Amino acid sequence: MVIPVHDVNPARSTPWVTYALIAANFLVFLLTPGLAGSVAGDASLAQACRLEAFLDQYAAVPQELLHHRMPRLVPTGDVGVGPQGPGCVIGPPDYDKSPELSVLTAMFLHGSWLHLLGNMLFLWIFGNNVEDRMGHLRYLIFYGICGYASAYGFALTDSTSTTPLIGASGAIAGVLGAYLLLYPKARVWVLVPFLIFLPLRLPAWIVLGLWFVLQAFYSAGQGVSAAGTVAYVAHVVGFAAGMLLAWPLKPGTPPPPEPRGPLFGRQARRAP
């Protein structure tokens, strides 16, 4: 998989919503209980139990989204000792949870630095142009719709799952889908892992098209063991939702500027 680092497509306005979303995701991550030790690699059982309880309360759970049924027993965040040794205590929930609202809160939760930084990198690179084209308020609404579409789309494929669904990747997949539709010819600088990381400048339709194909491939359970722990279906649904919502904006979207630097092939022959 190539790693995008920059696109040659400057925005005309400051992407305040994109900046705010990135800041909010970092802030929530730093304030998530139980993650401080896990980031340093020395998470204790108590920290793991607190994190499990926190995610169970604020993450989106497919079974809850579709059936509106809260489990009778949930992690309490405490540590106890049972017949098989120490573990996390479960008990009746002492909170009321809205499954619909949990989709929104789950969009700001991440399980590790790698999870967070990967999502924010894609949002940083591609979000500014989509926000610039849509406008701040419409972009914020668009981001939320894509997040909800991806969560419910994933839930429909696994309606009995009780595994918490977290992360901004579904909403960000919608941003990628919109970018691909609006700016397919924009150039994107990427790093290609081949012995060393090779920098290349590729069209967005190759970079994001390859990303989508891989997500669709993995969502079918191909190339990974049991599809791993990543909600690839949510990525596919979010990407499709982003393209669909951005479709009315495509006719009036100005093309990206021609990149400066060495030209090759037919571009070089057309140059004066």
CA distances from 194 to 1, 197, 206 (A): 10, 6, 18
pTM, two decimals, is: 0.87
- Interhelix angle 169-182/204-219, rounded to 10 degrees, is 140
- For residues 172 and 238, the answer to whether their CB atoms sit within 8 Å is yes
The pLDDT value recorded for residue 246 is 97
C-alpha 98: how far from chain center: 22
* Residue 83: count of CB within 10 angstroms of its CB: 5
For residue 123, give the 3-state DSSP assignment.
Answer: helix
Q: First CA to last CA across the chain, in angstroms?
A: 36
**Quick one: how many helices (H) and strands (E) in the chain?**
11, 5
- Total residues belonging to the chain: 272
The pLDDT value recorded for residue 182 is 97
Task: Give the separation between CA 56 and CA 131, rounded to whole angstroms.
Answer: 32
C-alpha 144: how far from chain center: 12
The pLDDT value recorded for residue 35 is 72
- For residues 152 and 65, the answer to whether their CB atoms sit within 8 Å is yes
19 burial type by CB count under 10 A (0-12 exposed, 13-18 middle, 19+ buried): middle
The pLDDT value recorded for residue 265 is 38
The pLDDT value recorded for residue 261 is 56
- For residues 51 and 35, the answer to whether their CB atoms sit within 8 Å is yes
Closest alpha carbon to 216 in 206, 204, 203, 227:
227
What contacts 99, CB < 8 A, 6 or more positions away? 60, 61, 64, 65, 68
Element (H, E) at 245: helix 232-246
Q: How many Cα atoms sit within 13 Å of 183 on the Cβ side?
A: 31
pLDDT in tens, the chain (272 residues): 789 999 999 999 999 999 999 999 999 999 998 775 555 445 678 888 888 888 888 999 999 999 887 778 888 878 887 777 787 888 888 888 899 999 999 999 998 889 999 999 999 999 999 999 999 999 999 999 999 999 999 999 888 888 889 999 999 999 999 999 999 999 999 998 877 788 989 999 999 999 999 999 988 764 443 334 678 999 999 999 999 999 999 998 888 877 665 544 344 334 33
Token pair of 97 as six digits:
């949870």
77: phi then psi, degrees, rounded to nearest 5: 95, -5
